Chains A and B, each alone.
Chain A
Amino acid sequence: MTSSQRQISIEKNLRFFREHLDVLIKTDPGRYVLLRNEEIAGVYDTIRDAKLTGEKFFDDGDYSIQQITKKPVNLGFFSYAGSALTAQ
């Protein structure tokens, strides 16, 4: 799968994840959800476990992982430096 196809897949999975976040955060706050084709493939305690499971079962690389949280990361001073958040 190309990097652009992967990016599209990640965005679709993210949209699906956001639609279900209110429910997930009640049942599995802080855990990591493995997503494939806009479906939940599993929920794991660590991102490593989710990643290893994704690699094991989806060798085409078409999966993504989201942490079940609504709290954004804060990059400290750099968050407020203006150009920080312009990467893809």
Chain B
Amino acid sequence: MPVLHLQHNNTQLFINVLILPLGTPADLIGGQTDLNGPTKPFRALVDTGATSSCITTKVASAVGLDPVGRVSVQGVAGVADLNNYLFHVGFIENVQSDQGQTLAQVNVLNREITGAEVNSGGHFDVLLGMDVLSTGTLIVHGNKHFSFSF
């Protein structure tokens, strides 16, 4: 079970993630790979108050995702229909090689995630909601550390 050990700033939790299209090779899903190729990490805000994850327009464009439909999202001014996407989420973990080098490996969540397209105002690239967080264990420590295992 992959375990990510990360730091927080006492106000919010952020995790660097990869957003991968549905066509990601099957041997990657639920598995692990070295971080390479055209993929780049995005800044994800952890939000236990969100029932679902979402991505910004920048992420959808960068990954080359096409919307699969629309989804109704509750907001302060009522309900809005937003583009909905289907993708995989990969978590980046630093591991030590046999030679003592620090390598970045990607652990891809073993399920597809759907996410609305939102405008975050630059605050984050991805919002990780309970659809992702409920697949694992999130522990927030008082010493500016937190961990997520899945």
Contact = CB atoms under 8 A, between A and B. Distances in A.
Interface of A: 3, 6-7, 10-11, 13-14, 35, 47-48, 51, 61, 64-67, 71-88
B74 to A, nearest CB: 4
| Chain B, interface SS category | strand
A11 B54 CA distance: 20
A77 B11 CA distance: 13
Given A47-B68, A51-B22, A51-B68, A73 B81 contact: no
Contact of A87 (B45, B56, B69, B129): B56
Nearest to A3: B66
Interface in B94-118: 112, 114, 116-118
B74 A88 contact: no
A14 B80 CA distance: 13
Given A51-B22, A65-B68, A76-B48, A86 B76 contact: no
Contacts of A78: 45, 47, 50, 54, 118, 120, 127
Given A73-B116, A75-B127, A10 B49 contact: no
B22 to A, nearest CB: 6
Closest 5 CB pairs of A and B: A76-B49, A76-B50, A72-B72, A85-B80, A64-B69
Contacts, number: 124
Given A47-B86, A48-B112, A75-B47, A65 B69 contact: yes
A53 B79 CA distance: 29
Contact of A14 (B56, B70, B116, B119): B70
Interface of B: 22, 45, 47-52, 54, 56-57, 66-77, 79-84, 86, 112, 114, 116-121, 127, 129
A11 B70 CA distance: 8
B18 to A, nearest CB: 19
A14 to B, nearest CB: 5
B67 A85 contact: no
